Amino acid sequence: MIRAEGLTKDYGARRAIDNLTFETRQGEIVGFLGPNGAGKTTTMRILTGYMPPTAGTATVAGFDVVEESLEVRRRVGYLPETVPLYPDMTVFEYLKFMADLRHLPNAEDAVDEALEAVGMSERADGYIANLSKGMRQRVGLAQALLHKPEVLILDEPTIGLDPAQVVEVRTLIREIGKERTVMLSTHILSEAQQVCDRVLIINKGRLVAEDTPENLQARLTGAQRARLRVRGDIEDARPLIARIDGVQDIKILDDGALEFQFAPATDIRPTVAKAVVQAGLDLLELSPVGMSLEEIFLELTRGETTVR
Amino acid sequence: MRNIWTIARREYRQYFISPLAYVTALAILLVVGAYFSLYLYFVSQQSLFGAQAPETNIVVGPMATIFLLGIPALTMRLLADEQRMGTLELLLTAPVRDAELVIGKWLGAFLFALTIIAITFIFPVILNALVDPGIDQGIMISGYLGIILMVAALLALGTAISALFSNQFAAFFVTLGLMLFLWWVIGWPSSVFQYGAPHDIFEHLNISKHFGDMTGGNVTLAAIVYFLSLTILGLLVGTTAVETRRWR
C-alpha cells in the first residue's frame, strides 16, 4: 500500500531523511519509531503529498506521491502532529467543510459516522475552541477517517492525551487497522509494541531496523534483565543471586536495587524469588527491565551498522 | 470549481465572526456615509448659485480611498494565518489544487467586499431621488464597475502577499505598501516625464488613473484589461507562493 524507495529530503544543508526504503501491506499497522527529529514527520509529509522529496520515489495505494499527488491525497487520511483545527468553527462545521472538500456524496452522514467512530457525537455542535486536547485529537482523527481512506497516516496520535484517552485511541487504531493500512509514528516503544504489527525504527533520517515488535526486542537484547529490591541491605542478596545458574552481570544500582541478566529462554525469576525468601529476606520487587528506546537506539546506531 | 466554492464559502462566513472585518466594513460605510451627507449639505447651501449636481463619484471616490486601507486588513490572514495555525497542512494534503485554494480564498474576500459595496448602493439611490432629473446612470454604472474591478485586483494582490508570509502583520504592511505604491507613488514618474513612452508606461500602471477614468464615466478597455491582469497576476503569484512553500 505504501512503498518508499530511496526517499531523501534535505532542508537546506540539513538532511532530514536519508535514503529510506520500506514497504507496507494492506491491513497492516506499521509503527514508525524514532526519537524527536529523526525524520518521522518529514517522511509522513512526503507520503501525504504535503511536500515532495529531494530524491527517491514513493507510491501510496499505487499512485506516485509527486506525479499523482491528488489521487494519493484522495486515498489517504492524515492526522498531522499539530492537529489542524479551526477554533472558531463547531466540530460539525469543521468536519462538514472537510467532507465537502473531499466531495463526499452524503457529507452529513459521513460526518456523523466519523464522529460516532471517535465517540464525539454529543459534542458535534460545540466550538472547537472549547474542546480539551484529547477531544481535539479525536476531532482530528475523525477528519482523517471521514472518507474511509485506504491508508491512514497518523503523526504521534496519542501525544498529549491522558492515559485513559491513550488507551481509547490505541483501541480505535487497532479497530481501524483491521481493514485499512495504518502508519503511525511514535517515540514510545511500548506503544509500538501494543499497537503495531510491524515497526520501522529510524534515527537521524536512516532506517536502522524493521521487524515485528517481538522479534525486534528479542533480537536486540539477546538476554533479559531483571531488577530486584529487598528490605534492608541489598548486599545481603548479592551472593544468593550470584549462586543461581544462568545469572550474569550483577550490578548494584544507586537507588539500592540490584540488576542482573539472564537468557530469555530460561526465566529464572521464580528461582530468584525462592532463593531470596528462603534466605529470610523480604522481597520488595522483582521486575523485568525492558530496554528503553534510548538504549535500543544506542544499540542500533553503534558503529552505524544497519540491522535489516 | 467545487473546491473553490467550498473554500470561498468558509472564508466568507469567517469574515462575519471576525471583529477586524466588522471594523473594516464599519470604517468604509462610516466614511462613505459621512462624506456623502456633508457633501450634500454643502451642495444644498450653494444650489442657489447653480452648483453642479453631485454624481456617483462622491460615493465611489472616498470608498476607494478607504478600501486601500481596508483591503490589507481583509487579506492579511487569508493564507498567512493558515500557515501559522498549521491548518495549511490540512488544506495542502486535502485533494485540492493549490490554485483552487488561492482562488477560493480570494473569492471569499471578494464576496465580502462586494457585500460592503452593495450596502453603499443605497447612496446613489438616495442621490437619484434628490437630484432632478436624476443622476447619470452611465456614470453610476461605470463608477461601481470601477470600484468592483479595482477591489478584485487589490484583493488578489493582498492574497498573494498573504501567501508569502506566515505573519499576518507582515502581510498587512507589505500589502498596504504595495497598494499605496500602485495608487500614489507610481504616478510620480508620469508627471516627471511629461510626454513620450515613459510617461505612457507609468500612467498605464497607475491604479488611480484607471479608476479615475471609470468614476468619470469613462469605461476604457485599457482600465478593464489592467484590473483583470492585476487580478490574474495576483492569483498566479499566490498560487506559486503556495507551491514553493511545499519545496522549502
pLDDT at position B147:
95
Q: What is the dihedral of CA B27, B28, B33, B39, to 10 degrees?
A: 110
Nearest to B187 by CA among B171, B172, B213, B208: B208
pLDDT in tens, chain A (308 residues): 899 999 999 998 899 999 999 999 888 999 998 888 889 999 999 999 999 999 999 999 999 999 999 999 999 999 999 899 999 999 999 999 999 999 999 999 999 999 998 888 999 999 999 998 888 988 999 999 999 999 999 999 888 778 888 888 888 888 888 888 999 998 887 788 888 999 898 888 888 888 887 777 666 655 677 888 888 888 888 888 888 887 878 888 888 888 888 776 677 788 888 888 888 888 888 887 766 555 666 666 665 444 44
Question: Distance of CA A183 to CAs A22, A43, A156, A176, A292, Å?
Answer: 12, 11, 10, 11, 22
For residue A184, give the nearest of A89, A260, A79 by alpha carbon. Answer: A79
Residue in B with minimal Cα distance to A97: B6
**A29-33 and A198-203 as β-strands: parallel, antiparallel, unpaired?**
parallel
Q: Show the cell assigned to A183.
A: 502508519
Q: What is the pLDDT of residue B246?
A: 83
Q: Which of A50, A100, A102 sits opposite B246 (nearest CB)?
A: A50
Q: What is the pLDDT of residue A118?
A: 86
Cell digits for B168?
499576518
Give pLDDT, residue A305. Answer: 47
Closest CA to B240 of B61, B97, B84, B39: B97
Place of cell 467586499: B113
ipTM: 0.89
Residue % of chain B over a pLDDT of 90: 63
* Cβ atoms of residues B27 and B21 within 8 Å: no
Task: Tell if the CB–CB gap between A84 and B90 is shorter than 8 Å.
Answer: yes
Window 129-188 of A: residues touching B by CB (8 A cutoff) are: 143
Asked if residues B93 and A50 have their Cβ atoms less than 8 Å apart, the reply is yes
Q: Which residues of B touch A74 (CB under 8 A)?
A: 95
Contacts of A85 in chain B (CB under 8 A): 87
Pick the most confident of A232-236, A296-300, B68-72, B105-109: B105-109
Pick from A80, A97, A100: CB nearest B86: A80
pLDDT score, position B49: 57
Taking CA–CA distances from B86, the nearest residue in chain A reads A84
Placement of cell 473531499 in the chain = A102
Q: Coil, strand or helix: which one is A226?
A: strand
| A68 to chain B: closest CA residue | B95
Q: How far apart are CA A64 and CA B73, in angstroms?
A: 40
Q: Tell me which chain B residues have a C-beta less than 8 angstroms from the C-beta of A11.
A: 248
Record the cell numbers describing residue A187, joined without a space.
517515540
Q: How confident is the model at residue B232 (pLDDT cuts 50, 70, 90)?
A: very high
Quick one: pLDDT at residue B51?
A: 63
Residue of A11, A45, A102 lying closest to B95 (CB–CB): A102
Cβ atoms within 10 A of the Cβ of A307, count?
A: 14
